[in-house]
Structure 1
C-alpha cells in the first residue's frame, strides 16, 4: 500500500491563492506528485491523488474527503467500453478544452470500440470544468468522463 506525502504549507498557500483570486480550483503538478485544491460551497476541498514514495507524519490540517465525480450532477458518463480520445487525430486540437463553455450536442471526445469511433457529445450546455480521462485511456461503461457545470 503506497502512502501519500501531504505538504500542508503548499495546501495552505494554494487555498490562500484561491481566496485572493476568487478562483474555484487550482492544481500544481511536479513529476508524479499532484496537489489540487478546489473550493466548494463549504470552503476549500483538497485532492492529492498522486502516490508518493516517501512517507510523512500525519499533519493536523483537516483534509476533506474527495468528491466522487460519478455522483457529480454534471458528470458526462461513458455509454460504452473503449478507448477515449480527446482529439480527432494526434495532430489536431482537442474537441473541447477545460474551462470552455460547450453547447448541448457538441462533441467532447471520441470513444473507440471495436474499431469504430463514437462521438461523445455534451448532454447539456455549460462550462466544461474538467476532463476525468486523457487521450488513450481505456474507459468502462458508466465511467465519468468529464464534468459540465
Structure 2
C-alpha cells in the first residue's frame, strides 16, 4: 500500500471522526474537545473543537489541522466585519451556520470578488460563500431572500459544524 493511499484512508476516516466529535460536542454539556493522533513521524491529526456560552460573542474556534502545521495556523483570526454586540450571532434569526467542518472562502478564487458583501440583497439559493471539506468545494446558499447584514468570518477561516458564518435578514 502506497504512502498516499494510507494518507487518503487516514484523511477520510479523520473527517468522519471530526464530524462525530462535532456532533458529540453539540449534543452534550461539553464545552471543549481536543484530540491529537500520531500516525507516524510526519503524519498526525490535531483536532480542537469548542462550544461557547450564548452570553458572549466569540469567533469560530479553529476546527482542524491535518498533518504538520505551524502553531499560527491553528489560531482563528478575528473577523474584521464583526461589530461588538452582546448577543451570540448564531442565535440571531437570520444566522447562516456552517453545515460542516472545513475552511470557509468568501470568493470562488483568490483575488476575485466575494460572492456577497454587507448590505447586498440576495435571493433564496444564491451562493453566499464556499466551505471546503475533503478537497470538495461546497457552495453555501442563502436560506432565504434578504440582505446580508453581517459577515462573521474572514476568507480562509477554519469553521466547525454549526459555526455562524453570516447574518441574512
What TM-score do you get using the length of structure 2 for normalisation? 0.50
**DSSP 3-state at the match of 2:166:** strand
2:50 match = none
- Distance of 1:146 and 1:138 partners within structure 2: 14
Count the aligned residue pairs: 90
- Please, which of 137, 141, 146 is the counterpart of residue 126 of structure 1? 146
1:94 corresponding residue in structure 2: 114
* Deviation readout 1:106-140 (Å, 9 max, x if unpaired): 00000000000000000000010011111110000
Pairwise CA RMSD of aligned residues?
1.9
- Name 2:104's counterpart in structure 1: 84
Distance in 1 of aligned mates of 2:91 and 2:107: 26
**Equivalent runs, 1:61-72 vs 2, <5 Å:** 66-72=86-92
- Secondary structure of the equivalent of 1:127? strand
Segments of structure 1 that go 5 or more residues without pairing to the other structure are 1-31, 38-46, 48-64
3-state SS of 2:110 partner: coil
Q: CA deviation at 1:67?
A: 1.0
TM-score normalised per structure 1: 0.57
In 1, the alpha carbon distance for the partners of 2:146 and 2:96 equals 12
The question of 1:135 aligning with 2:165 is answered: no
Distance 1:101 1:67 in 2: 23
Runs of 4+ residues over 4 Å off in structure 1: none
For 1:117 and 1:98, how far apart are their aligned partners in 2? 23
Cα deviation for residue 92 of structure 1 reads 1.1
TM-fit CA distance, 1:91: 2.1
Indicate the residue corresponding to 1:44 in structure 2: none
